[in-house]
Amino acid sequence: MIYVIGALALLVLTLLLVSVRIVRQSEVYLVERLGKYHRMLNSGIHLVIPFIERVASRKSLRETVVDFPPQAMITRDNVSIEIDSVVFFQVTDPVRHEYEISNPLSAISNLTATTLRNLVGELDLDETLTSRDTVNSKLRTVLDQATDKWGMKVNRVEIRNINPPRDIQQAMERQMQAERLRREQVLNAQGEKEASILRAEGVKQSTILEAEAQRLSQVERARGERESQILRAEGEAEAILKLAEAKAEGERLVLNVWKTSEPTKEMVQLRSMEAIEKVADGKATKLVIPSDATSLLGMVESVKQVLNEK
């Protein structure tokens, strides 16, 4: 009896251990009952009925990265190249992922290879090398549409390497060297051109400044000469004015003397002599002198003596 109870207890314990399922985070279990999908177990502890239910599959909900081997392809210009790609996908519907496709990784690999061949066949080698983003975007769109019914979502597709033939690589390297040499020559020519322009501008500015300096010097010199002439003219005018004022003052004094005193014989004779002098200063070719002028000439010495005494 004891053995029977022990056997039953061991059987019950074994059944419990078999029935208990612990599901980890980011994982789900698909449970089938009598060979048909019954339910999905999320993260946590669950019980499965032995011999009636079984865990048919375990699915990870995390993003998965698949690296596909290089695939041989031909471009539009008949160049054979090898391309290897990386696909990032995630299971969004575990049920469809389990029952809609038998080998999802193989399906994605083949779909990626055929789609890449179609895309690369429409591009030249240079376009293939420089249009990775375009190829990645188109490839991701095609894969996402195709894998949607499989319960998968393609988040990203990257072309990792593009390997053209060795001779093509050497030709491309020579082309790049020639392009770099051309750019170097262009840059050198542009530098020399800019340097020549700067030198010419410097010479031009220097010439302009020298001409401006000469012009200003000439202007200042002419201004100085003009001011000097003006000062000389003003000095001469002032001298003439002073002489005229002195002469006028002398005449005024003489006139006052005449007005305040009785004219003497000598003064009358002196005035006569001055009148004769003014007449002689004229432009006439003939001069008529009064008869008594000779006697007046004789009186000059006496007039001078009288004036000296006064």
Q: What is the pTM of this model?
A: 0.52
Ramachandran angles phi, psi of 229, nearest 5°: -65, -40
Angle between helices 265-280 and 300-309 (to 10 degrees): 120
Sorted by where each begins, the domain ranges of the chain are 2-59, 64-164, 264-310
- Find the distance separating the first CA and the last CA of the chain, reported in whole Å: 191
Q: What angle do CA 150, 62, 84 make, to 5 degrees?
A: 70
Measured CA to CA in angstroms, residue 247 lies from 159, 165, 254, 266 at distances of 118, 121, 10, 22
> What's the pLDDT tens digit per position in 50-81?
888 888 889 999 999 998 888 888 888 888 88
3-class DSSP state of 29: strand
Measured distance CA(289)–CA(32) in Å, rounded: 170
Contacts 24+ apart (CB under 8 A), 233-237: none
Residue of 149, 129, 162, 160 whose CA lies nearest to 66: 160
Q: How many CB atoms lie within 10 A of CB 135?
A: 23
3-class DSSP state of 268: helix
| Averaged pLDDT of the chain | 80
Q: When comparing pLDDT for 266 and 117, which is higher?
A: 117
Would you say 122 and 73 are in contact if contact means Cβ atoms under 8 Å apart?
no
Lowest mean pLDDT among 127-131, 134-138, 296-300: 296-300
- What is the CATH topology of the domain spanning 64-164? Tetrahydropterin Synthase; Chain A (3.30.479)
> What's the pLDDT tens digit per position in 11-47?
767 777 778 888 898 899 999 998 899 999 998 888 8
Q: Could you tell me the pLDDT band of residue 130, with boundaries at 50, 70 and 90? A: confident
**Whole-number pLDDT of residue 307:** 47
